[in-house]
């Protein structure tokens, strides 16, 4: 199992701006106070990388629901 990486604040902001502050799972926009995660488009378990092109903005709850499915 691969170890989680700490996403620097500047990179989180870059990804959020690129994704237009929308969750890539539910397509809903930012709501103040919501928690965000960075999700891998291609999972690390399936040879995905931590490159910015493979990282997507996701609501915490959407990301957890996806992981539980």
pLDDT in tens, 54-67: 999 999 999 889 76
pLDDT of residue 2 exceeding 70 = no
Radius of gyration of the chain (CA): 12
Compute how many other C-beta atoms are within 10 angstroms of the C-beta atom of residue 63.
20
- 3 in a structural domain: no
How sure is the predictor about 45, in pLDDT bands with cuts at 50, 70 and 90?
A: confident
- 47 in a structural domain: yes
Range(s) of the domain holding residue 24: 9-68
Give me the pLDDT at residue 3, please: 64
- 25 in a structural domain: yes
Q: 50, 5 in Cβ contact below 8 A?
A: yes
CA distances for 45 relative to 3, 11, 63, angstroms: 11, 22, 16
- Report which of residues 31 and 10 the model is more confident about: 10
Q: What pTM was estimated for this model as a whole?
A: 0.78
When pLDDT is averaged across residues 4-28 and rounded to a whole number, the result is 90
- 24 in a structural domain: yes
- 2 in a structural domain: no
**How many domains does the structure of the chain reveal?**
1
Whole-number Å distance between alpha carbons of 62 and 66: 6
């Amino acid at each position: 199992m691969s170890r989680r990486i700490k996403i620097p604040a500047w990179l989180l902001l870059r990804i959020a701006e690129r994704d237009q502050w929308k969750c890539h799972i539910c397509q809903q926009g930012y709501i103040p106070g919501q928690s965000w995660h960075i999700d891998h488009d291609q999972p690390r378990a399936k040879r995905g990388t931590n490159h910015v092109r493979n990282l997507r903005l996701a609501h915490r709850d959407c990301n957890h629901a996806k992981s539980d499915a």
